[in-house]
Amino acid sequence: KISLIYASSYLGNPASFFGHTLIRIDNQPNMPLISQAVNYGAIVGNAGIFDYVVQGIGGGFNGVFTLNSYYDTINEYSFMENRDLWEYQLKLTDEQLKMFIYHLSEVLPFSAKYYFFTENCSYMILELLNIVQPETDWTEELPSLYTLPSDTVRIIVQNHHLLDEAVYRPSRQTKVL
């Protein structure tokens, strides 16, 4: 199974003010902590604030897909950054899942220009998910001036035939509050 993951906003990083989207690939049923997280992000290095803004808006950074353990992802987002997570498990056929995995293996070694407002994590995750329904280009449903992670979630959730189950994973801070 695969799931679309939405991480709530994080005010400690300007690029995360609007949240973040990623994909979880489940290796074992009902054991998400041993799953893999597919992330898309910009390689910013040690860019200063001016370079960060200019290159982020103008596509000066490269964006790459990475594969990490979901346990480490939860630790970073939920415990270190106090971000709530929503996990949207997708209902895919075996053929769709196989095509997604094949497509992911094709794009993992490559990079693309990263634009903070348009071709960002949310846009590229949606592009990656387009492979499960090649007759549909979900990126056409996005606003033209910006792409928010909530837009990707909205598009996937509105396609109810894709949504299998949704799980809310509150951050440590939310649990305390």
Please give the pLDDT value at position 69: 96
Please give the pLDDT value at position 11: 65
Distance CA 10, CA 13 (A): 6
Please give the pLDDT value at position 16: 63
Please give the pLDDT value at position 14: 58
Which amino acid makes up residue 12? G
Residue pLDDT tens, the chain, 177 long: 999 999 998 666 655 668 899 999 998 888 888 999 999 998 888 888 788 888 888 888 899 999 999 999 999 888 888 899 999 999 999 999 999 999 999 999 899 999 988 999 999 999 999 998 888 888 988 888 888 999 999 998 888 788 888 999 999 889 998
Tokens standing for 77? 């987002």
DSSP secondary structure letter of residue 132 = G
State pTM to two decimals. 0.89
Residues 6+ positions from 77 with CB-CB distance below 8 Å: 7, 10, 20, 83, 85, 171
DSSP-assigned states of every residue in 136-168: --GGGGS-SS---HHHHHHHHHHSGGGEEEEEE
Tokens standing for 163? 């949504």
**Segment 19-63, tens digit of pLDDT:** 899 999 998 888 888 999 999 998 888 888 788 888 888 888 899
